[in-house]
Chains A and B, each alone.
Chain A
Amino acid sequence: MNQLLNFLFRYNQLILEGLQETMYMVGLSLLFAVLLGVPLGVITTITREDNIFPNKAINNLLNGVINIGRSIPFIILLVAVIPFTRMIVGTSIGTTAAVVPLALAAIPFMGRIVDNALLEIDQGVIESAEAMGATPWQIVYKVLLPEALPAIILGITLTAISLVSYSAMAGAVGGGGLGDIAIRYGYQRFKLGIMIETIIILVVVVQLIQWAGNKLANSFDHRN
């Protein structure tokens, strides 16, 4: 047993660094996803016909952006945005550079999740706010967002988990992180221990994110 543990933890330092890099990539791109994806989703929802701020042009545009963003395979996005990444980060290699394609993939994903979460809200509740004379903006931050908060938190959780797996892919093309380690050491150098260890850590990270997300969402959910 001890031997096995020793075997597994020979590359402790390496894996710890990889974990940190993964967290950095996921955390930062998740931050962008929330900061930009939530407004994207909100505006998409409220500009729908029959919603509180109907605007067909904006709605079509944002819907298009979300759909296109979501239909590009990540591996292609990763390569396609390299010039753009260079432009804003200065380089296309490294964890910070990896954040660009990760965020670009996560923003429309988050946007659609928020859009769906808001559409789940009972129309009657929104209507009652309108009947009280609430402005569209008041409805957004006093009705839509609080009422959809549990669903949005679960959506952020889902996005975070997707980002963990995407970050492994981004890592493989020069971004670092656990995925990079798993491929470079585990796959290319046949170090099965490292491969298993990184996978175990990724599984644990994903479980933890899901657990925390569920807990948080539950604490905001007063529907029953």
Chain B
Amino acid sequence: MISVKNLTKRYNSSQGDIEAISGINLKVAAGEIFGIIGPSGAGKSTLIRTLNLLEKPTKGEIIIDNTELTSLSAALLRKERQKIAMIFQHFNLLSSRTVRGNVSFPLEIAGIAKKERKQRVKRLIELVGLSDRADHYPAQLSGGQKQRVGIARALANDPQVLLSDEATSSLDPESTKSILKLLSRIRDELNLTIILITHEMEVIKEVCDRVAVIEAGKIIEEGTVLEIFSKPKKPLTKKFIKSVIDFELPPRVAEYLSDSQHKPGILLRVSFLGENTHQPLISYLVKKFDIDANILYGNIDEIQRVPFGTLVIDLEGKKEKLSASIQFLQEQGLQVEVLEGESIT
């Protein structure tokens, strides 16, 4: 649905040129929710704003639904833009219009007749659950409600693509969750392709199918959300994941470990993904290798309804048994990291 080739945007300023994004390549399939995450200044906004040519790229191609956008005339581009909706961090609603008026706005632009407009507006407002607020002005709405108006407005002309520029970044966690749910629902119902940028890994974890990590204008890592969460490669990616999944040992565990009293063994961090969680691996390990296992810390989360977890276990037993245990766990497709007792492996 969306294909971006070698996209580059250079800003010429008096302090010199800044390459906000350089040589970005992306492919996003229809019906996919694609997340782009990166730290402040990485070029996220620049990237998403070049996708509908709010920002003119210096180089590169943007192909959306088989149409190359950068070569279109102004009039054709406007026509295309009606199919590429966008929602914003600060909502950008018209303060002079009610909810109804705001949702009607893109339909007026597209030249939809009044009667049909009214019906569509009503349906869209129902879709985002704001029927009881239809005659309110934006100033009378909460942030979450404003973003719902933004979404209803974005969907007005039956777009194929929705671009979301930090749409939940100025919302509280509760509203964020409900907006993400709504996005996920409209994707399912309308088979919409969504590209969303964020600096919060929580958002990626909550709704995205695939994710790209962007740093200093370049995509440094890309994959399905499960892949990225289970096998992050780049330090920045790991840092983002840490922000939602707690890898740090709680003080209680750390204290236990520093206590010289505890018998020598190895300390492992085992990360698992999907079906493995249902298998009694630990008890199997204990029986098969005749070792003692002590679970110090565990954390199970879900990413796209797939369980994803981390266990910190303390294994005690004969040296060769311990290394055999590690090998066994790895054979089961688990990520194993030795935290202490490296001499054993």
- A, B assembled together: yes
Surface stretch bound by A, among B2-10, B77-85, B324-332:
B77-85
State the interface size on chain A (CB cutoff 8 A): 22
Interface pair A147/B106, CB less than 8 Å apart: no
Interface pair A135/B86, CB less than 8 Å apart: no
- A149 closest partner in B (C-beta): B96
Residues from chain A with a CB closer than 8 A to the CB of B52 are 131
Interface residues of A in 125-168 (CB under 8 A from B): 125, 127-135, 138, 142-143, 146-147, 149
Surface stretch bound by A, among B87-95, B253-261, B289-297:
B87-95
* Docked CA distance A156–B138 (Å): 26
Interface pair A133/B139, CB less than 8 Å apart: no
Residues from chain A with a CB closer than 8 A to the CB of B78 are 133-135
- A145 closest partner in B (C-beta): B96
Interface residues of A in 178-224 (CB under 8 A from B): 220, 222-224
Interface pair B109/A133, CB less than 8 Å apart: yes
Residues from chain B with a CB closer than 8 A to the CB of A142 are 105, 108-109
Tell me, yes or no, whether A73 is within 8 Å of chain B by CB: no
Residues from chain A with a CB closer than 8 A to the CB of B80 are 133
Residues from chain B with a CB closer than 8 A to the CB of A138 are 108-109
Interface pair B96/A220, CB less than 8 Å apart: yes
Interface pair A124/B95, CB less than 8 Å apart: no
- Number of interchain pairs (Cβ within 8 Å): 68
Interface pair B81/A125, CB less than 8 Å apart: no
Residues from chain B with a CB closer than 8 A to the CB of A146 are 94, 96-97
Residues from chain B with a CB closer than 8 A to the CB of A125 are 92-95
Identify which of B84, B95, B108, B157 contacts A147 (C-beta below 8 A): B95
State the interface size on chain B (CB cutoff 8 A): 29
Residues from chain B with a CB closer than 8 A to the CB of A131 are 52, 54, 81, 84-86
* Docked CA distance A122–B79 (Å): 24
Identify which of B82, B93, B97, B137 contacts A132 (C-beta below 8 A): B82
Residues from chain A with a CB closer than 8 A to the CB of B86 are 128, 131-132
Interface pair A133/B82, CB less than 8 Å apart: yes
Interface pair B92/A222, CB less than 8 Å apart: no
Interface pair A224/B139, CB less than 8 Å apart: yes
How far, in Å, is A119 (CB) from chain B's closest CB?
A: 16
How far, in Å, is B88 (CB) from chain A's closest CB?
A: 6
Tell me, yes or no, whether B281 is within 8 Å of chain A by CB: no
Most chain B CB within a 10 A radius of its CB, from A125, A133, A147, A220? A133
* Docked CA distance A24–B137 (Å): 38
Interface pair A124/B88, CB less than 8 Å apart: yes
- B83 closest partner in A (C-beta): A133
How far, in Å, is A129 (CB) from chain B's closest CB?
A: 8
Tell me, yes or no, whether B29 is within 8 Å of chain A by CB: no
Residues from chain A with a CB closer than 8 A to the CB of B97 are 146
Residues from chain B with a CB closer than 8 A to the CB of A122 are 90, 92
Tell me, yes or no, whether B110 is within 8 Å of chain A by CB: yes
* Docked CA distance A109–B137 (Å): 32
Residues from chain B with a CB closer than 8 A to the CB of A147 are 94-96
Most chain B CB within a 10 A radius of its CB, from A122, A132, A223? A132
Interface pair A133/B95, CB less than 8 Å apart: no
Most chain A CB within a 10 A radius of its CB, from B84, B94, B110, B153? B94
* Docked CA distance A6–B90 (Å): 63
* Docked CA distance A220–B80 (Å): 33
* Cβ contacts B227-242/A at 8 Å (1 or 0 each): 0000000000000000
- B139 closest partner in A (C-beta): A224
* Docked CA distance A125–B102 (Å): 11
- A143 closest partner in B (C-beta): B94
* Docked CA distance A34–B179 (Å): 44
Residues from chain A with a CB closer than 8 A to the CB of B82 are 132-133
Residues from chain B with a CB closer than 8 A to the CB of A128 are 86, 88, 92
How far, in Å, is B14 (CB) from chain A's closest CB?
A: 14
* Cβ contacts B105-118/A at 8 Å (1 or 0 each): 11011100000000
Interface pair B95/A132, CB less than 8 Å apart: no
Residues from chain B with a CB closer than 8 A to the CB of A133 are 77-82, 106, 109-110
* Docked CA distance A124–B84 (Å): 17
How far, in Å, is A47 (CB) from chain B's closest CB?
A: 16
* Docked CA distance A167–B128 (Å): 55
How far, in Å, is B48 (CB) from chain A's closest CB?
A: 11
* Docked CA distance A149–B108 (Å): 20
Interface pair A127/B137, CB less than 8 Å apart: no
Interface residues of A in 94-146 (CB under 8 A from B): 122, 124-125, 127-135, 138, 142-143, 146
Interface pair A222/B90, CB less than 8 Å apart: no
List 6 additional contacts besides A129-B105, A133-B80, A222-B137; criterion CB under 8 Å. Answer: A125-B95, A128-B92, A132-B106, A135-B78, A138-B109, A147-B96
- 8 pairs, CB–CB < 8 Å, chain A vs chain B: A125-B94, A129-B105, A130-B54, A133-B106, A138-B109, A147-B95, A147-B96, A223-B95
List 5 tightest A-B contacts by C-beta distance, closest first. Answer: A133-B81, A128-B92, A133-B78, A222-B137, A124-B92
